[in-house]
Amino acid sequence: MAPSLVQAHPRRIAKVAKQIEREVGSLLIHDMVLQKAICPERRRGIDASMSAVASVTEVQLTRDMQVARVFLSIFSDEEGKAIALQGLQGLEGYVRRMVAREMGLRLIPELRFQLDDTMERSDRVQALLERVRAMEAGDEEAPPITLS
């Protein structure tokens, strides 16, 4: 069977993606089910300290509007990020139902949560640039060059 050739207008795709981004972002802040998935310690009644905080950085919607990749920035250590992402991925269907309730679209795309590590990569690049500036200014010695 041939794949569907139906494609939405780019402005419509962008509008729906932005609306999904707002709705999922709001759920991450207000929905206790999602908060417990992100911070498992909340299930045990420990609210004072949070192990992770998640926010939506971007939503990419396929041209046929069937799948939405929701990129998340999760502020935590590596273990906390993995636990939070796994918890959210287990609730993709729940989040889809909640988004459908708010958006009122006939068809809601399948949601797929992915970790967005742009901030970490940006920090590493910034640190490297600072190191190069320090070497150029003579404040830091250049690393030795090895030939293999």
Position 57 in a domain: yes
**pTM for the full predicted model:** 0.75
Q: Is residue 73's pLDDT more than 80?
A: yes
Mean pLDDT over each residue of the chain, to the nearest integer? 86
CATH of the domain at 106: 3.30.300.20
Give the pLDDT confidence score for residue 47 in this predicted structure. Answer: 56
Position 147 in a domain: no
- Residue range 77-123, pLDDT digits in tens: 888 889 999 999 999 999 999 999 999 888 899 999 999 887 777 88
Q: Is residue 68's pLDDT more than 60?
A: yes
Cα 96 from chain centroid (whole Å): 15
Q: Is residue 142's pLDDT more than 90?
A: no
- Count of domains forming the chain: 1
Q: Is residue 131's pLDDT more than 60?
A: yes
Cβ-based neighbour number of residue 5 at 10 Å: 7
Look up the domain containing 40 and give its range. 10-137
Position 83 in a domain: yes
